Amino acid sequence: MTSPRILDGKAVAAAVLDECRAEAAALTAKGIVPGLAVVLVGEDPASKVYVGSKVRTCGELGFHSRKIELPAATTQEQLLEVVRQLNADPAIHGILVQSPPPAHIDEQAIIRAIDPRKDVDGFHPENVAKLALEDATGFVPCTPAGCIKLMETAGIATSGAEAVIIGRSMIVGKPMALLLVSKKANATVTIAHSRSKDLPAICRRADILVAAVGRPEMVKADWVKPGAVVIDVGINRIADASKKSGYRLTGDVAYDEVAPRCSAITPVPGGVGPMTIAMLMKNTLQAARQLG
C-alpha cells in the first residue's frame, strides 16, 4: 500500500469542539457555565504551552476557566490545599493538575485528593474502576478517548481486530486497552512493553497498532503488518538545526517508512495531539452536566 488514509486529528477535534461549544451555550442558558481549573506547579516550558492551550480553548468555547500557577518550591500540603479549595468551588466542574509535577510532589496523592466527580483527566482510582466496569458516569482519560474517537470517525472497525498497544502507562496504555477490549469495541488486545520478548513480532500481529512509549521513531516498517491501522501517540522533540525552533516534533513511529505499509495512520503533529484537548473539553462538559 502506498496511499494510507491520514487520520486528521485537527479536523476531528474541530468537530468535537464545535459540539462542545453548542452544548456549553445550552448549559449556560440554564445557568450552568462549565468551569475548568488547571493547576501548574513549576516552570516546565512544555507544560506551560499545554496549560496555555487548555485555557485558551476554554475561552473559545465559552467555558469559565482558572489558571493557577504555583512556584516549583510549592509543598505537597500547599498543593493539596489548592485542590481542596477547588473541590469545594461550585463554579469549578473540572480540575486538572498538569503532569508531571516537580519531583518532590507525590503525584498519586494529588490525583487521589481530587474529587472524582471533577477528575476530568480520568486518573482517579474511582474513574479507573468505572472505565474497567464500562460505567459511563466515569471519565475516560483524554488521550485514549481521543484515539477511539479518531478511529470511530474514520469508520475503522475494531470488532474482532487484533490490537497491540506498546506502552502500559495509566495515562495511555492501560486505559487504551480497556477501551479496545470493552463490549463496545470488541478487539482482542495485547499490551506490549520494554520487557516484552520479540516486540517487533508482537507488533506484526496487529490489525491496530497503538504506539505510546515515548521513544522517537522506535516503530519501524518491518514492525508493521501490511494494511494495519497505526495510531501514534508519541510526541518527541528531536534536535533539528534546519528549524527555527532548533527542533522538530516526531512520534514513536518512523512515519515516512511506516506510512506506505498502512491502511490508516495518524501524523505527528496533527494526529492524536489535538484530540487530547478536545476530549478534555468533552469531559468538562460531562462533569458540568453531572454536577449541575
Q: Give the catalytic positions in this structure.
A: 54, 98, 121
In whole angstroms, give the CA distance from residue 46 to residue 169: 20
In whole angstroms, give the CA distance from residue 234 to residue 256: 15
Element (H, E) at 38: strand 35-41
In whole angstroms, give the CA distance from residue 40 to residue 100: 9
Question: Grid coordinates representing 16?
Answer: 468535537
Coil, strand or helix: which one is 222? helix
Measured CA to CA in angstroms, residue 152 lies from 17, 72, 251 at distances of 16, 40, 22
* Cα atoms in the Cβ-side hemisphere of radius 13 Å centred on 7: 30
CB count, 10 Å around CB of 47?
16
Question: Grid coordinates representing 71?
Answer: 512556584
